[in-house]
Structure formats: C-alpha cells, structure tokens
Amino acid sequence: MTGFTFIDLFCGAGGCSLGFIEAGFEGVFAADHDKNAVQTYQLNLGDHVRCIDITDQISLPYADVIVGGPPCQGFSSAGLRRLH
C-alpha cells in the first residue's frame, strides 16, 4: 500500500476508483448524483460514497489526490448513449 488517499468526484459505479484502489490508494470519499451508480459503488468498493449533487456546497475530507472521470458515453444521461 502506498499510504496515499483519494477522493473520486463523479464516481459513477466506481471504475476509476477501482483502478486507484488496485494501485494501493485508499478511497476516503466518493460522490455521484445517480443513486443506482452509488449503490453499485457502495456494494463493491465501500461506504465512503455519497449520493449528492456536488454543485451544492460540500466539505471534502483531506486526500492526497482528487480524481473525476468523464461520463461513460454508453451509460451517462449526459452523453449520446452510443456504445461505440
């Protein structure tokens, strides 16, 4: 383990978080507004995830890294929902 921590904003179901966890980072906070994605994240990666709108004022815990991924085009309501 590296001893480093991370926060994942727009975490979805946790694909980016999984990569960081497998690299030895510890997730201390994750957030997404999609309740189904948050439930999936929580089931697979832990209870440090919250279903919130991050445009609201929020307090973030200390972390060494903050990550945030672009929407998955095949699933996101922000995308065109094209699989290829």
DSSP labels for 17-83? HHHHHHTT-EEEEEEES-HHHHHHHHHHH-TTEEE--TTS-------SEEEEPPPPTTT-TTS----
Q: What is the pLDDT of residues 40-77, one digit of tens each?
A: 999 999 999 999 988 878 889 999 999 997 776 666 66
- Which residues are catalytic, by number? 72
The single-letter code of the amino acid at 59 is: S
Question: Which residue range(s) make up the domain with 6?
Answer: 1-57+64-84
**C-alpha count within 13 angstroms, C-beta hemisphere, residue 3:** 0
The single-letter code of the amino acid at 28 is: V
- Span 29-43, mean pLDDT? 95
Q: Is the pLDDT of residue 1 over 60?
A: no
**Predicted TM-score of the model (pTM):** 0.82
Give the CATH number of the domain where residue 72 resides.
3.40.50.150
Total of domains in the chain: 1
